């Protein structure tokens, strides 16, 4: 176990000691303030009443030295003594109060890390009162405080982890200023990992129906998408109060508060910044959900990731439950999903490094994405497309790894004339109304599957020779396509709404039947946890 020695113990030093012990760390404090020694011993912290600049009082060994007296000159002398006594230890030193530049330089000459408390305080105050973040947050607070009733925080249809976590976090921000808020969604939460996340963390979400939608709310916020009626069940003329999203919009976004930043990898990153800015300590549920949302949307920090994503993850990690994350990432798989994966393997057609597979009639669209992922692990395969049909629509999910093509643009070239398609360079999907494929002889699902296979696989393979090239690093932004809801067909647990569905064109593509009621649920669909 790492051993830590604290030299001097002003108020900041005591806070540091409390934080270390709260995390289960061991610490030895040396200070000549008897009252501080007594208080620390009452807290069961090892404390020695001695001069923190006297190396004869130091233990034989330590891994980390923290110099934390209020007096700058004592910190300088303690840091110098610690470096001479422990040449290999990591030394972090605070400057104390009122340190001049010469003293700061002397401390920096021997310490590995110097914390200028006064500069840190000034910087923090400037962050809170000036700059873009401060202006955004002041405007957000103004919008929230002007609401005269509860706020509906609405995700895109069939929400993914990033959307779920962002909605939950924004409700906490609203509640911090006295505004009641609910995390809301349309559609279903059906992917095993998404269901596991909601069930294991006991996340309460309100399932909306399209008839009454948000009639009982005084305000509406959109998270992880930016326009009403575009990949959600809201009427297109719904007045929106707040929008927070990391996807670049393809049309003007109207709301009283808009925060659109495509330079971060997840909307959860933005919400983590909100919590940090307002000094809101995230509870276990919020922190775990946000951390998972970031990890999933950035593909474990490998896709469209920014420094802000890493900073947000570091902030959340302290409060998150890693055990729950492990269980979410290894949920049980439904029999329907196993059957779909088996059919995808059995029916695969491989041409070069590309694979397409028709699985026929399906009951769960999420299984297509999982099958496409599994088939991508086959030797020599860099691109997969798995598709099936239900409720009058063909759904297709594609994956690419190490391929030279842009999969989202490739599927658009292949299927835009008969349906809608799009997505990322490495993850994309498509939806095609069955009626577009022409009349099918006979009523059997087998004959229908044959027609679907000939049309979809044929178009896919014909497009590959002239497929658009993969974008350069950093260019792979989500592409928004009217008429397409990718939240299910592209759903890893990480599937974000790579494209958004225009309501006027959505009828042929929507397959989620609403039951006419509004459900308040923490265990999704009232089912048992999948993990």
Report the distance separating Cα 154 and Cα 166, nearest Å. Answer: 10
pLDDT attached to residue 231: 85
pLDDT at residue 331, rounded to an integer:
60
Q: pLDDT: is 466 or 24 the higher one?
A: 466
Determine contact, residues 397/369, Cβ cutoff 8 Å: yes
pLDDT given for residue 129 in this prediction: 63
pLDDT digits (tens, 9 = 90+) for 79-138: 999 999 999 999 999 998 889 999 999 999 999 989 887 777 666 666 666 667 888 998
Q: What is the pLDDT of residue 303?
A: 76
Least confident of 8-22, 93-107, 122-136, 468-482: 468-482
Domains defined for the chain, CATH in brackets: 3-122 (3.40.50.720), 131-330 (3.90.1640.10), 335-505 (3.10.310.40)
Among 114-118, 321-325, 378-382, name the one with the lowest average pLDDT.
114-118
- Asked whether residue 196 carries a pLDDT value surpassing 70, the answer given is yes
Residue whose C-alpha is closest to residue 26's, from 55, 46, 52, 50: 46
pLDDT score of 301: 82
pLDDT digit string (tens) for 232-274? 999 999 999 999 999 888 789 999 999 999 999 999 999 999 9
Question: Highest mean pLDDT: which of 1-10, 14-23, 164-173, 302-311?
Answer: 164-173
- The model's pTM: 0.57
Residue 440 pLDDT more than 60? no
Confidence of residue 514 (pLDDT cuts 50, 70, 90): very low
Residue 322 has a pLDDT of 86
| β-bridge pairing 3-7 and 519-521 | unpaired
What pairs with residue 383 in β-bridges?
A: 354, 400
The per-residue pLDDT for 52 is 96
Residue 434, number of CB atoms within 10 A of its CB: 18
Which strand ranges, in their side-by-side order, compose the sheet holding 205-207?
A: 257-260, 242-245, 219-223, 151-154, 181-185, 205-207, 519-521
Q: pLDDT confidence of 68, banded at 50, 70, 90?
A: very high
pLDDT in tens, 146-187: 999 999 999 998 899 999 999 999 999 999 999 999 999 998
Q: What is the mean predicted confidence (pLDDT) over 445-455? A: 81
H-state helical runs in 177-317: 192-200, 267-278, 284-297, 307-317
- Residue 78 pLDDT level (bands cut at 50, 70, 90): very high
Instruction: Give pLDDT, residue 90.
Output: 92
Q: Which of 49-63, 404-418, 429-443 has the highest mean pLDDT?
A: 49-63
Bridge partners of residue 361, in order along the sequence: 389
CA 299 – CA 459 distance, rounded (Å): 29
Quote the mean pLDDT of the chain: 83
Of residues 289, 299, 259, 245, the one with CA closest to residue 476: 299
């Amino acid at each position: 176990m790492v051993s830590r020695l604290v030299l001097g113990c002003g108020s900041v030093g005591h806070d540091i000691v409390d934080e270390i012990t709260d995390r289960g760390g061991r610490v030895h404090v040396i200070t000549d303030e008897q009252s501080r020694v007594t208080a620390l011993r009452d807290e069961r912290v090892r404390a020695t009443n001695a001069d923190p600049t006297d190396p004869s009082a130091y233990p034989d060994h330590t891994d980390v030295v923290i110099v934390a007296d209020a007096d700058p000159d004592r910190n300088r002398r303690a840091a110098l003594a610690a470096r001479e006594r422990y040449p290999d230890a990591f030394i972090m030193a605070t400057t104390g109060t009122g340190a001049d530049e010469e003293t700061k330089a002397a401390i920096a000459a021997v310490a590995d890390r110097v914390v200028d408390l006064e500069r840190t305080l000034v910087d923090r105050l400037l962050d809170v009162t000036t700059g873009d973040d401060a202006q955004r947050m002041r405007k957000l607070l103004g919008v929230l405080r002007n609401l005269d009733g509860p706020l509906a925080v609405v995700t895109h249809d069939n929400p993914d982890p990033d959307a779920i976590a962002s909605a939950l976090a924004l409700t906490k921000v609203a509640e911090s200023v006295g505004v009641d808020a609910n995390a809301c969604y349309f559609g279903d939460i059906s992917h095993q990992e998404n269901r596991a996340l909601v069930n294991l963390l006991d996340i309460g979400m309100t399932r909306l129906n399209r008839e009454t939608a948000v009639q009982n709310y005084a305000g509406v916020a959109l998270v992880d998408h930016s326009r009403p009626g575009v990949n959600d069940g809201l009427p297109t003329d719904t007045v929106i109060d707040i929008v927070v999203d990391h996807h670049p919009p393809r049309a003007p976004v109207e709301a009283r508060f808009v925060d659109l930043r495509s330079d971060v990898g997840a909307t959860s990153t933005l919400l983590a910044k909100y919590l940090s800015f307002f000094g809101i300590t995230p509870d276990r549920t919020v922190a775990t959900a946000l951390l998972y949302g970031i990890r999933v949307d950035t593909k474990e920090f490998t896709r469209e990731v920014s420094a802000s994503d890493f900073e947000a993850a570091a902030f959340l990690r302290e409060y998150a439950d890693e055990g729950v994350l492990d269980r979410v990432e290894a949920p049980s798989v439904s029999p329907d999903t196993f059957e779909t994966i088996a059919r995808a393997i059995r029916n695969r057609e491989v041409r070069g490094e590309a694979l397409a597979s028709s699985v026929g009639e399906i009951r769960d669209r999420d299984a297509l994405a999982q099958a496409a992922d599994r088939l991508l692990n086959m030797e020599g395969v860099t691109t997969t497309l798995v598709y099936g049909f239900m409720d009058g629509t063909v759904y297709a999910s594609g994956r690419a790894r190490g391929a030279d093509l842009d999969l989202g643009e490739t599927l658009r070239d292949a299927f835009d004339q008969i349906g809608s398609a799009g997505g990322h360079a490495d993850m994309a999907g498509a939806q095609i109304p069955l009626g577009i494929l022409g009349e099918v002889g006979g009523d059997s699902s087998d004959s229908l599957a044959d027609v679907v296979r000939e049309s979809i696989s044929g178009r896919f393979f014909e497009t590959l020779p002239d497929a658009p090239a993969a974008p350069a690093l950093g260019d792979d932004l989500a592409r928004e396509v009217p008429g397409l809801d990718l939240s299910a067909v592209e759903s890893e647990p990480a599937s974000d709404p790579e494209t958004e569905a225009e309501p006027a064109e959505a009828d042929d593509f929507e397959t989620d039947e609403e039951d006419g009621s509004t459900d308040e649920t923490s265990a999704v669909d009232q089912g048992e946890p999948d993990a």
